A and B are shown apart, each in its own frame.
Chain A
Amino acid sequence: MFDSLADKLQGALGDLRKKGKLDEESISRAMREIRLALLEADVNFTVVRDFVGRVREKALGEEILKSLTPGQQVVKVVHEELTALMGEGESGLAFGKFTVILLAGLQGSGKTTTAAKLALQLRKRHRKPGLIAADLQRPAAIDQLEQLGKQIQIPVFRTDTKDAVEATRSGLERARAEGLDTVIVDTAGRLQIDEELMQELERVRDVAGPHNILLVLDAMTGQEAVNVAQAFDERIAFDGVILTKLDGDTRGGAALSVKAVTGKPIKFASTGEKLDALEVFHPDRMASRILGMGDVLTLIERAEAAVAEDEQAEMEKRLAAGQFTFDDFLKAYKMLRRMGPLQGLLKMIPGLKDQLGDVDVDERQLGRVEAIVLSMTPQERRSPIVIDGKRRIRIANGSGATVEQVNQLLEARRQMEKMMKQMGRGKMPALPNQQAQQSSLSAARKSGVKRKKKKKAGRK
């Protein structure tokens, strides 16, 4: 698996923690690790340079050197600086009597879907939103917005014109006439170096007179994020950013960069394809997540949304009793699924990533596991002890798995039950140690270590 920025920082600072005393050498090593980790996370390199400089200065400061736990102090400094960089607190939208929100960004950043998601959110907050189709560039973009509007029953205003400014003007007029109080203008994606389209965007902004101008930015963007944000800011002075596709495994360094160079806050994060997958962005949580301190708040919110209360109570009771049958297994599995990709969930649990190291959660494997359990009879699920050799073959055949895979699952359940029993008695099960951290770029260069070329992708 791709180790996260959190792991890297944890690795660099973990050493400091153990030392209990800071010296120039170990600080330098930690700073190198931080630099490397941030670069690998796509944070812009000038932002990284400044960031590392500030952290180093503070880390070497008097107070820290004198303190009893300097290592932890550095963690704290990094966290504070990161949070400061991401911006403090949440920032909402500005509203007027008739509120206009303008969305802009590069091609393919996710404006159209985001427009619909935002409209849905606003309606949940008891506003009467409408959508204006001002992307006259991409084939079928208007159809896309219209279909999304229909799906969530929010009016979409389209005009038969080739002129985005005219489409916006006419859309605003009609939205007002229909008694709506909020409109979202979906514009065409454009490159920030496309002079013609940037001028068009300025004109659209001028007729729209927006209360909120939001830059829609793909969370997977690399070093370019800074140029994009700077240029859009110069031209249309946006108020904030919506970060999209954050549900993937990107480390999202672009978020740090954009905030650092424009000073504009990230207001929302888009975290899925479903139209309700738009969350208020929490900079402090993001910073914690980056640092491997877990994103417990988000985790709890998601768990609450996904798991019915009675289900939860029932599960807890069974676990407390130290029972873990395949029925329980299946239930737990389904709850987890509803909470989103496992890999992401694991990262949110404080310390877990740290202890497990490079765990690769293969979600497909989980799919197979489900198939195997579903091929068992109710009796087998309740008391797995009855599953003999013959039954194993039958289960394997029924689920398209190998007998070996069935065996592995049986063993895994047995282990889990054992673990549950231990936990019930208040003992924490032993976990494997953290993986060794990768060396820094410059170190790699100087020592001339050869890295193996990985095997070709695909072609099984």
Chain B
Amino acid sequence: MARSWGQLLGDSDAPAETAEAQRGFFGRLRESLGKSRRALTEQLQVAAFDPADDASWERLEEALIYADVGVRATAELIRRLEARQDLSELNGALAEEIAALFGDAPTLNVRHEPAVILVVGVNGTGKTTTIGKLANKLREHGRSVTLGAADTFRAAAEEQLDIWAQRSGARFVGGERGGDPAAVAYDAVGSDTDVVIVDTAGRLHTQSNLMDELSKVRRVIAGRREGAPHEVLLVIDATTGQNGLQQARIFGDAVGVTGVALTKLDGSAKGGIAVAIAYELGLPVKLVGVGEGLEDLRPFDPDDFARALVAA
């Protein structure tokens, strides 16, 4: 059973999602993927898998590479499969091993008052949209929310977040274009809602001055509220290739990322880079984005994701 929002947010006795509630999401996903996305293993004829045959292993290797899982995580998965006695049910075994790399189903740390969530990532991955959708879910689960527009760089970034604040019924704290993002973050964190989410400008992790700026935003948040930020979410686009690892590493060093939000999984990209990130950096995925609408955000469920990656 898929993970529910109540479980992700750590609400007491929250049940897993019922089949009923799930249908909407999976139905939608299947609809959009049905024609364009065939099973990973089928596509590469892994169906005819023969453990004694080197070519079979190579095809499996390629299937994983094709999903952007990357060379090292692929090597690890293959090693784990080789160690298994029974590979008659290859898809199931592979999904299990992938899920295992992710570890336990994660929770989102929103129990503090206020809980502060800092959202970071490279340009255009879906930070602002994810924040809008997350605010909406938090509101549905009884939390008051403030959105802080600490992207003072990109044109119309503030307007964009403001629109999401209105859609989700969140409070909005803005600044001035070209102003100090840390100052906006400071103001937002002073808000007395249950949760404060701070949006930041997209930046390439190689721009060290901008990474320093981000560290400063984090420091200022920490200075204003002890223990904050409670979550630092790195937003990664599912179409991202192996550069995603480098993003996770450097953002991790700069601001102490606590989890990944994997967006645009409604496309045909499989998002295997999340497997590489989980394996190499031990960084959990917490949220998945599956569209541009208010409802298109889901708690990450390792088993579901693994099965989707293998079998679509």
Contacts and interface: CB of A to CB of B under 8 A. Distances in A.
Interface of A: 2, 36, 39-42, 45, 106-110, 137-141, 143-148, 151, 191-194, 218, 220-225, 227-228, 245, 247-251, 253-254, 273, 341, 343-344, 363-364, 366-367, 441-442, 444-445, 448, 451, 453-460
Contacts of B206: 247-249, 341, 343-344
Interface of B: 32-33, 35-37, 57-58, 61-62, 65-68, 70-72, 74-76, 78-79, 82, 122-126, 153-157, 159-160, 162-164, 177, 204-209, 211-212, 232, 237, 239-246, 248-249, 251-253, 255-258, 264, 266-269, 272-273, 279-283, 292
A222 B264 CA distance: 13
Given A445-B78, A458-B257, 15 more contacts: A40-B71, A106-B267, A107-B264, A110-B123, A144-B154, A144-B160, A145-B155, A193-B35, A218-B124, A222-B244, A247-B206, A249-B246, A367-B212, A457-B282, A458-B252
Nearest to A249: B206
Nearest to B67: A223
Give the interface centre of A110, A441, A448 by most chain B CB atoms within 10 Å. Answer: A441
Given A221-B240, A247-B206, A445 B264 contact: no
Given A107-B292, A220-B240, A341-B208, A459 B71 contact: no
A148 B155 contact: yes
A366 B209 CA distance: 11
A108 B123 contact: yes
Nearest to A44: B66
A185 B155 CA distance: 18
Given A341-B208, A454-B281, A147 B156 contact: yes
A228 B241 CA distance: 14
Given A191-B264, A220-B240, A458 B232 contact: yes
24 contacts: A39-B65, A39-B71, A42-B242, A45-B62, A45-B66, A108-B237, A109-B124, A140-B159, A140-B162, A191-B266, A193-B35, A193-B37, A218-B237, A221-B240, A222-B240, A222-B241, A222-B242, A223-B241, A250-B243, A341-B206, A366-B208, A453-B280, A457-B249, A458-B258
Contacts of A224: 68, 239, 267-269
Given A147-B156, A192-B268, A194-B32, A220 B282 contact: no
Given A341-B207, A344-B206, A441 B282 contact: no
Nearest to B264: A107
Given A248-B243, A458-B255, A140 B160 contact: yes
A193 B208 contact: no
Nearest to A254: B241
Contacts of B269: 222-224, 227
B241 A451 contact: no
Contacts of B164: 139
